[in-house]
């Protein structure tokens, strides 16, 4: 496995972002939480690219600006104050967040800085109202142990989370700023990870250490991974926003495969004798071909007086539809560029034709008009002249890069482990001091005091889980990797239910439900507590757990009592049970006569099935024995 | 403190000098077996003397404590970043001519990327190169008059600014834009409103609450609005152009005598008090919000009256105000006092005799209200009537800051007390309005 990756020179690094469980946000006193309701107010802004200290303006940023991109920020008074709106300077750096990040750093043997300086990192995609993200290094040069190998932790930093995108409406982006300012710790490893499996192990190990502080947030979106991947002859690709630890290895595998395939395409193009000079930005207006088209997208565009433009990509036939890696094709890469630079919904290309209602006849026309050879591909797009032109320009540029191999870029991760083009890699790091926040001096006494009362390390915790709660190794490891670790411990201590049952519920059961598409993240801690309390007091049986959780996931704000009632899962009373036993005996009287005591096992089975987990086997056993005497 | 090592002193400075390192050099600090390497960055003035700031390769700054075990060495010479501003856009000569006069403030400041400090260093032509859209609106002529944060602006600057604006108007521009800090912009706007009489073209004062080096700055939007108004607005008055709300969608133009900074940090900090704004610009269109205004007329002759008496005080009444303060001003030869009274125009009766003594010495005492919104009426209560009886001048719905500037201007125009009182209560630049609307 790893030899395959060492042969191709895989190098990967991770950036793990984890929200901290603080009382307040990083630079103001707002409560760190999100809101689901309609926003109470909105405001509209534009972000203007500014000159860097080198006097340069980032070209992608300038482009966005010139295209009149506007941002509508959504907010409410519960989660947002003037600081998030960029209407009030930041308050002092949240000391609670600083403390948690130092504790995490020390657990990873990283060396705290002597003085923290908050910086501004320019980000003008709208995700920060200021146009920059506030961030600071808290520690450097740590290491963690991954199966005997030391993986270097380059840097631990503390930063504000960004606003979350809630939609796009033409050139108007919607961002909700409730999340803006929630403290995030960012742990950056050196690019010393040499296989997807090792990357996943590393991601889990960092996650375990952060959770071991017991002071990080959990739930969907509270931990996010960025992955840097490069292979020999490929390029350094930054993949943003891998939502789940489990996906890390798959994303890397896909990226390696994508780069290898792009290198194959490069070689194939060379073999076909395609030269950069052959790929010409000569756009042909082919609107007339599609006047009567059945293709809905094109017909709609033409109706709005938008032209259809086409360009010939010489030697690209069959290559656009080639699958680079699971779910990724060169055609999609071109489309990604076209969307970013040309603001179009998508592109059409001849490799995927005939499809979408485009007919062979139309394609013949198109081929003739573009002088398409059998080895050529044609890309066409229907949009305003300006957008279509920009889109095809981007397509041509991307096609030229295919001759060289893999372009450096920033990609974003999809939930299925594939990735898509996001934006060009940012230029030289544009970072300058946040002068509104004074530096914080870190004394040795403070760090020593924190060092003397560090939380249990994951390996110690693992040992304790096995001893104290009698969990087997596999279950202990699963609980250690679970974000419900804290809840597990408190329930295992407080309720009558066996620790193993609770651990299984939080690991295997939840995993299985999630696989079945149940929205388990909707289940609250309070609901878990109530459920185990009711199981502990005999109101329902442990066998009902999957059913109860499934119901709770679909019925927010309901109680577990509601679930039991609605599902008919309350334990049968002794009287109800006796009636059930009598009924079963009556129905099977013949069988009992035949078999005598030998009927016991089968009757037991019938009763348990009818009771659907609402009885304890011991009690059935007792009653049935009595009745059969 | 050292000039070559801004912000560094004491221990840290000694180490840096011994290592022969300069700001911008790559240096390495070794202590406790750890190496810290990065570019030496200046330290802010409030920092202590035991830390050196390094910019790491990642771009982050960190402070490294220098103790007795530390070793500092220079590893590489610094590369000084050269800053080349983008070229000025081509002027389209058919467009109206607009002068931009820069006095300083956030709108005319930019970050020093090495120290991170915001400096009032952006020249008016920098503004122009940073906001290239201006080239499509007007032919812009820029002049840096001063680089002063607005808390340091004094009447000396008002006078200079008024004269410079007059000079540009004399040169036949379609309008003048004055870039200014926000803190005392209200005072300066009032001062120009009185000093520049019979304006033929608009004078647009503009500012920003977020410095121009920030992507979210309001500077560019405000400046674009200001230049558009200077070039095309139908009015010929002194106004302040700023954000109407927190959104970047509209700019409003407040009359210079009716405007006040009302929030410490918001973009829409300026509000028209006891008046509607004069106009609003939205989607590139200027619409007037007040019917009666001085119309643009390039043939009109500007009257420049840039004289302000220095010895005028603005005194805010508060419980237990010591009346000796008023006596003190009189003894110091002050010629006018604007009181910021309570409610409809009152002060404690324990101040009455001191006020009377002042008026007897020919000091003009004008009354305004600390309520900010609303009109005085000193006939409603005894306290008011007593003040009127000793000769306090009620200034109706005039803002305290505007009244202060106006009294200084009035005393700059005449030495006669009765004439000064007459001028003070006469509407000169829309500082008084007879009707207060429900807005």
B417 is catalytic: no
Give the separation between CA A548 and CA A565, rounded to whole angstroms: 10
Query: Is residue A441 scored above 90 in pLDDT?
Result: yes
Tell if the CB–CB gap between B63 and A439 is shorter than 8 Å: yes
Per the listing, tokens 């959990």 go with A218
Query: Span B10-76: which CATH code?
Result: 2.30.30.520
The lowest-confidence range among A55-69, A221-235, A481-495 is: A55-69
Q: Report how far apart, in Å, the C-alpha atoms of B404 and of each of B9, B188, B191, B259 are.
A: 44, 11, 10, 14
Under a CB-based contact definition with an 8 Å cutoff, are residues A111 and A139 in contact? yes
* Residue B279 to residue B291: CA distance in whole angstroms: 10
DSSP B288-309: ES-S--PBP-TTSPPEE-----
Contact B190, B409 (CB under 8 A): no
| pLDDT score, position A295 | 93
Residues in chain A: 629
Whether B300 contacts chain A with CB within 8 A: no
Distances (CA, A) of B368 to A353, B287, B401, B417, B429: 79, 31, 9, 19, 17
Query: With an 8 Å Cβ cutoff, are A53 and B81 in contact?
Result: yes
Indicate the SS3 state at residue A618: helix
Catalytic site residue from B103, B126, B141, B183: B183
- Other beta carbons within 10 Å of A556: 12
Q: Residues A435, B117: contact at Cβ < 8 Å?
A: yes
Beta-carbon contacts of A252 under 8 Å, excluding residues fewer than 6 positions away, are A10, A12, A196, A199, A227, A229
Among candidate residues B103, B142, B182, B368, the one labeled active-site is B182
Output A88 or B32, whichever has higher pLDDT. A88
What is the Cα–Cα distance from A461 to B132, expressed in whole angstroms? 61
Distance CA(A483)–CA(B182), nearest Å, equals 50
The mean pLDDT value for A289-300 works out to 93
CB distance B46–A131 less than 8 Å? no
Q: Rounded to the nearest 5°, which phi and psi values hold at A617?
A: -55, -40
Q: Residue B85 above 70 pLDDT? A: no
B87 at A interface, C-beta within 8 A: no
Q: Which of A159-163, A309-313, A517-521 bottoms out in mean pLDDT, i.e. has the lowest? A: A517-521
- Asked if B34 is an interface residue toward chain A (Cβ–Cβ < 8 A), one would say yes
> What is the distance between the alpha carbons of residues B421 and B113, in angstroms, rounded to a whole number?
52
pLDDT in tens, A471-513: 999 999 999 888 888 899 999 998 888 999 999 999 999 999 9
The pLDDT-based confidence of A382 (bands split at 50, 70, 90) is very high
Say whether the peptide bond before residue A453 is cis (omega within 30 degrees of 0): no
pLDDT band at B1 (very low <50, low <70, confident <90, very high): very low
- Judge whether B172 is closer than 8 Å to chain A, CB to CB: no
CB B117 within 8 A of CB B6: no
Give pLDDT, residue A384. Answer: 93
Query: Using CB atoms within 10 A of its CB, is residue B115 exposed (0-12), middle (13-18) or buried (19+)?
Result: buried
Q: Closest to A114 (Cβ–Cβ): which among B65, B215, B267?
A: B65
Q: Which of A442-446, B173-177, B209-213, B365-369 has the lowest mean pLDDT?
A: B209-213
**Rounded mean pLDDT, A305-309:** 95
Contact list, B62 vs chain A (CB under 8 Å): 113-117, 137, 140
What's the mean pLDDT when you consider all of chain A? 90
Q: Which of A70, A129, A441 sits opposite B216 (nearest CB)?
A: A129
**Which residues in chain B are contacts of A117 at CB distance < 8 A?**
53, 60-63
Å from B206 to nearest chain A CA? Answer: 18
CATH number of the domain located at residue range(s) B97-304 in this protein: 3.40.50.1170
Angle at B264 between CA B254 and CA B251, to 5 degrees: 30
User: What confidence category does residue B267 fall into, taking pLDDT thresholds of 50, 70 and 90?
Assistant: very high
Q: Does B216 touch chain A (CB under 8 A)?
A: yes
Compute the average pLDDT of residues B414-426: 96
With tokens 């002088």, the residue in question is A371
pLDDT over threshold 60, residue A439: yes
- Interval A188-204 mean pLDDT: 94
CB B211 within 8 A of CB B217: yes
Residues of B in contact with A85 (CB under 8 A): 246
B97 among known catalytic residues: no
Q: Do A132 and B53 touch (CB under 8 A)?
A: no
Among A249, A261, A239, A234, which residue's Cα sits nearest to residue A9?
Answer: A234
Report the relative pairing of strands A308-313 and A323-325 from DSSP bridges: unpaired
C-beta neighbour count of B27 within 10 angstroms: 25
Helix B382-390 crosses helix B352-360 at what angle (to 10 degrees)? 20
Amino acid A167: pLDDT: 93
What CATH number does the domain located at B312-425 have?
A: 3.40.50.40
Cα B32 to the center of its chain, rounded Å: 50
A430, closest residue in chain B (CA to CA): B59
User: Using CB atoms, which residue from B62, B247, B249 is nearest to A117?
Assistant: B62
Contact A85 B246 (CB under 8 A): yes
Q: Report chain A residues whose CB lies below 8 A from the CB of B115.
A: 433
Which tens digits make up the pLDDT trace of B189-247?
A: 999 999 999 999 999 999 999 987 788 999 989 999 999 999 999 999 999 999 999 99
Fold equal for B97-304 and B312-425: yes
What residues contact B164, with CB distance under 8 A and at least 6 apart?
B101, B143, B145
pLDDT bin (cut points 50, 70, 90) of residue A29 is: very high
Q: Which two tokens stand for residue B273?
A: 């008090």
B265 contacts A131? CB cut-off 8 A: no
Please say if B57 is a catalytic residue: no
Note the Cα A337 to chain centre separation in Å: 22
Residue A528, SS3? helix
CA-based end-to-end distance of chain A: 65
pLDDT > 70 fraction of chain A, expressed in percent and rounded: 96
B108 to chain A, any CB pair closer than 8 A? The answer is: no
Q: Determine the Cα–Cα distance for residues B404 and B366; give it in Å rounded to an integer.
A: 9
- Whether A441 and chain B come into contact, CB under 8 Å, resolves to yes
Q: Which of A325, A366, A294, A397 lies closest to A60 in space, CA to CA?
A: A397
Nearest-Å Rg of the Cα atoms of chain B is 26
Binned at pLDDT 50, 70 and 90, residue A23 comes out as: very high
Is residue B401 within 8 A of residue B368, CB to CB? The reply is: no
Question: Residue B108: which of B252, B230, B213 has the closest Cα?
Answer: B213
Report the alpha-carbon distance of residue A446 to residue A106 in Å, rounded. 12
Tell me, what's the pLDDT at B202?
A: 98
Chain B residues with CB-CB distance to A89 below 8 A: 265
Shortest CA gap B257–chain A (Å): 26
**In angstroms, rounded to a whole number, what is the distance separating the alpha carbons of residues B387 and B342?**
13
H or E segment at A592? helix A589-595
Every domain of chain B and the residues it spans? 10-76, 97-304, 312-425
Compare CB distances from A43 to B115, B220, B247 and report the shortest one's residue.
Answer: B247
Q: 3-class secondary structure for B355-381?
A: HHHHHHCCCEEEEEECCCCCCCCCCCC
Active-site residue flag, B310? no
Is the pLDDT at A317 greater than 50, yes or no?
A: yes
Q: What is the mean pLDDT of residues B275-290?
A: 96
Residue A154: its H or E element: strand A149-160
- The whole-angstrom distance between B82's CA and the closest CA on chain A is 7
**Above 50 in pLDDT, residue A278?**
yes
Distance CA B8, CA B28 (A): 17
The dihedral built from the CA positions of residue A446, A451, A452 and A453, taken in this order, carries a sign that is: positive
So what's the pLDDT on residue A427? 59
State how far the Cα of A393 lies from the Cα of A377, in Å rounded to an integer. 15
Inter-chain contact A433–B115, Cβ cutoff 8 Å? yes
Q: What tokens were used for A488?
A: 């597990």
Q: How far apart are CA B43 and CA B16, in angstroms?
A: 12
Residues 394-433 of A with CB under 8 A from B: 429-433
| Entry field: residues in chain B | 439
Quick one: average pLDDT of B141-162? 92
Mean pLDDT, chain B, rounded, equals 91
Please answer whether residues B66 and B52 qualify as being in contact, where contact means their C-beta atoms are separated by less than 8 angstroms: yes
Q: How far apart are CA B290 and CA A334, in angstroms?
A: 54
Q: In chain B, which residue's Cα lies nearest the Cα of A157?
A: B60
Query: Would you say residue A567 has pLDDT above 90?
Result: no
With contact defined as beta carbons under 8 Å apart, do B311 and B332 qualify? yes
Nearest CA in chain B to A118: B61
Query: Residues B243-267, buried b or exposed e (16+ Cβ, 10 A)?
Result: bbebbbbbbbbbbbbbbbbeeeebb
Which whole-number Å values give the CA distances from B181 to A108, B109, B159, B247, B253, in the listed order? 48, 10, 16, 20, 16
Q: How far apart are CA B21 and CA B72, in angstroms?
A: 9
Bridge-partner residues for A277, per DSSP? none
Nearest 5°: the CA angle A398, A401, A404 is 160
Nearest to A130 among B114, B216, B248 (CB): B216
Sign of CA dihedral A289, A295, A298, A300: positive
Q: What angle do CA B177, B181, B182 make, to 5 degrees?
A: 105
Whether pLDDT at B339 is above 50: yes
Query: Which residue on chain B is closest to A49 by alpha carbon?
Result: B215
Q: Which residues of A474-489 are buried (b: 16+ CB within 10 A; e: fewer)?
A: ebbbbbbbbbbbebbb
* A62 in contact with chain B, both atoms CB, cutoff 8 A: no
Predicted ipTM of the assembly? 0.92
Mean pLDDT in residue range A180-193: 97
Helix or strand (DSSP H, E) at A431: strand A431-433
Q: Residue A160 and residue A179: Cα distance in Å, rounded? A: 9
Q: For residue A3, how far is the Cα from the chain centroid?
A: 29
Closest chain A C-alpha to B136 CA, distance in angstroms: 14
| Mean pLDDT (whole number) for B117-138 | 70
| Residue A608: predicted pLDDT | 84
């Amino acid at each position: 496995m790893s030899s395959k990756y060492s042969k191709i020179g895989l190098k990967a690094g991770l950036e793990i972002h984890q929200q901290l469980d603080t009382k307040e946000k990083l630079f103001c006193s707002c409560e760190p939480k999100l809101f689901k309701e309609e926003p109470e107010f909105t405001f509209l802004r534009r972000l203007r690219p500014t000159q860097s200290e080198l006097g340069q303006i980032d070209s992608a940023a300038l482009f966005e600006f010139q295209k009149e991109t506007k941002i509508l920020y959504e907010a409410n008074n519960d989660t947002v104050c003037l600081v998030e709106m960029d209407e009030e300077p930041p308050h002092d750096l949240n000391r609670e967040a600083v403390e948690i990040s130092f504790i995490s750093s020390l657990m990873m043997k990283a060396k705290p800085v002597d003085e923290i300086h908050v910086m501004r990192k320019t980000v003008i995609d709208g995700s920060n109202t200021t146009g920059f993200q506030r961030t600071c290094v808290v520690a450097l040069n740590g290491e963690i142990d991954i199966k005997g190998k030391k993986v270097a932790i380059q840097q631990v930093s503390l930063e504000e989370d960004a606003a979350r995108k809630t939609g796009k409406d033409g050139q108007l982006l919607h961002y909700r700023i409730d999340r803006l300012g929630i403290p995030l710790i960012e742990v950056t490893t050196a690019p010393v990870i040499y296989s997807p499996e090792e990357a996943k192990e590393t991601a889990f190990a960092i996650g375990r250490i952060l959770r071991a502080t017991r002071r990080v947030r959990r739930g969907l979106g509270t931990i996010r991974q960025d992955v840097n991947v490069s292979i020999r002859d490929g390029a350094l690709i930054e993949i943003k926003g891998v939502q789940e630890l489990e996906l890390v290895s798959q994303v890397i595998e896909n990226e390696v495969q994508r780069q290898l395939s792009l290198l194959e395409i490069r070689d194939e193009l060379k073999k076909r004798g395609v030269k950069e000079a052959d790929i010409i930005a000569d756009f042909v207006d082919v609107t007339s071909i599609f006047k009567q088209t059945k293709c809905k997208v094109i017909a709609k565009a033409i109706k709005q007086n938008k032209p259809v433009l086409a360009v010939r990509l010489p030697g690209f036939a069959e290559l656009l539809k080639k699958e680079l890696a699971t779910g990724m094709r060169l055609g999609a890469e071109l489309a990604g560029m076209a969307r970013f630079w040309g603001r179009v919904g998508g592109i059409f290309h001849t490799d995927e034709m005939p499809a979408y209602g485009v007919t062979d006849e139309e394609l013949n026309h198109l081929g003739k008009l573009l002088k398409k050879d059998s080895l050529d591909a044609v890309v066409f797009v229907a949009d305003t002249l300006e957008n279509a032109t920009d889109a095809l320009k981007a397509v041509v540029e991307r096609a030229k890069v295919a001759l060289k191999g893999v372009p450096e870029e920033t990609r974003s991760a999809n939930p299925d482990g594939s990735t898509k083009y996001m934006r060009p890699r940012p230029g030289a790091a544009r970072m300058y001091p946040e002068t509104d926040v004074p530096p914080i001096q870190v004394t040795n006494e403070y760090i020593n005091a924190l060092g003397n009362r560090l939380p249990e390390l994951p390996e110690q915790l693992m040992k304790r889980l096995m001893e104290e709660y009698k969990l087997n190794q596999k279950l202990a490891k699963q609980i250690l990797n679970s974000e419900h670790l804290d809840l597990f411990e408190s329930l295992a201590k407080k309720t009558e239910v066996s620790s193993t049952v609770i651990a299984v519920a939080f690991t295997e059961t939840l995993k299985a439900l999630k696989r079945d598409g149940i929205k388990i993240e909707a289940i609250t801690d309070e609901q878990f507590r109530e459920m185990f309390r009711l199981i502990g007091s005999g109101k329902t049986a442990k066998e009902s757990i999957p059913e109860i959780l499934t119901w709770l996931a679909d019925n927010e704000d309901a109680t577990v009592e509601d679930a039991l009632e609605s599902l008919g899962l309350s334990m049968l009373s002794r009287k109800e049970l006796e009636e059930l036993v009598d009924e079963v005996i009556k129905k099977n009287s013949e069988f009992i006569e035949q078999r005598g005591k030998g009927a016991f096992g089968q009757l037991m089975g019938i009763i348990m099935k009818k009771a659907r987990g609402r009885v304890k086997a011991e009690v059935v056993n007792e009653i049935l024995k009595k009745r059969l005497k | 403190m050292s000039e070559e090592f801004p912000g560094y002193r004491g221990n840290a400075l000694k180490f840096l000098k011994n290592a022969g390192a300069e700001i911008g050099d790559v240096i390495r600090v070794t202590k406790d077996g750890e190496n810290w390497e990065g570019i030496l960055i200046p330290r802010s003035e409030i920092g202590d003397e035991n830390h050196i700031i390094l910019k790491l390769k990642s771009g982050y700054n960190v402070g490294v404590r220098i103790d007795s075990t530390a070793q500092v060495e220079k590893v590489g010479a610094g590369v000084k970043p050269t800053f080349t501003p983008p070229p000025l856009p081509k002027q389209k000569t058919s467009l109206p001519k607009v002068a931009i006069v820069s006095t300083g403030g956030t709108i005319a400041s930019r970050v020093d990327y090495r120290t991170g400090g915001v400096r009032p260093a952006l020249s008016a032509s920098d503004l122009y190169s940073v906001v290239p859209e201006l080239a499509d609106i007007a032919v812009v002529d820029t002049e840096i008059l001063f680089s002063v944060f607005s808390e340091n602006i004094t009447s000396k600057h008002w006078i200079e600014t008024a004269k410079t604006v007059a000079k540009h108007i004399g040169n036949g521009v379609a309008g003048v834009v004055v870039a200014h800090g926000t803190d005392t912009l209200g005072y300066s706007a009032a001062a120009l409103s009185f000093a520049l009489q019979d304006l033929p073209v608009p004078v647009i004062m503009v500012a920003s609450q977020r410095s121009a080096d920030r992507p979210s700055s309001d500077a560019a939007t405000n400046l674009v609005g200001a230049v558009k108004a200077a070039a095309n607005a139908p009015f010929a008055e002194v106004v302040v152009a700023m954000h109407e709300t927190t959104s970047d969608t509209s700019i409003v133009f407040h009359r210079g005598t009716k405007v006040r900074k009302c929030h410490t940090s918001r973009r829409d900090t300026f509000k028209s008090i006891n008046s509607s704004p004069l106009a609003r610009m939205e989607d590139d269109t200027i619409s007037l919000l007040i019917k009666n205004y001085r119309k643009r007329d390039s043939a009109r002759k500007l009257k420049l009256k840039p004289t302000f008496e220095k010895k005028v005080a603005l005194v805010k009444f508060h419980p237990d105000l010591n009346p000796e303060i008023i006596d003190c001003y009189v003894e110091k030869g002050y010629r006018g006092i604007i009181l910021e009274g309570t409610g409809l125009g009152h002060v404690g009766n324990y101040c009455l005799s001191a006020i009377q003594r002042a008026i007897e010495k020919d000091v003009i005492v004008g009354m305004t209200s600390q309520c900010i919104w609303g009109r005085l009426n000193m006939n409603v209560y005894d306290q008011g009537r007593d003040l009127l009886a000793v000769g306090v001048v009620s200034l109706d719905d005039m803002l305290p800051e505007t009244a202060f500037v106006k009294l200084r201007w009035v005393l700059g125009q005449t030495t006669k007390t009765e004439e000064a009182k007459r001028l003070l209560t006469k509407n000169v630049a829309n500082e008084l309005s007879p009707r207060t609307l429900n807005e």
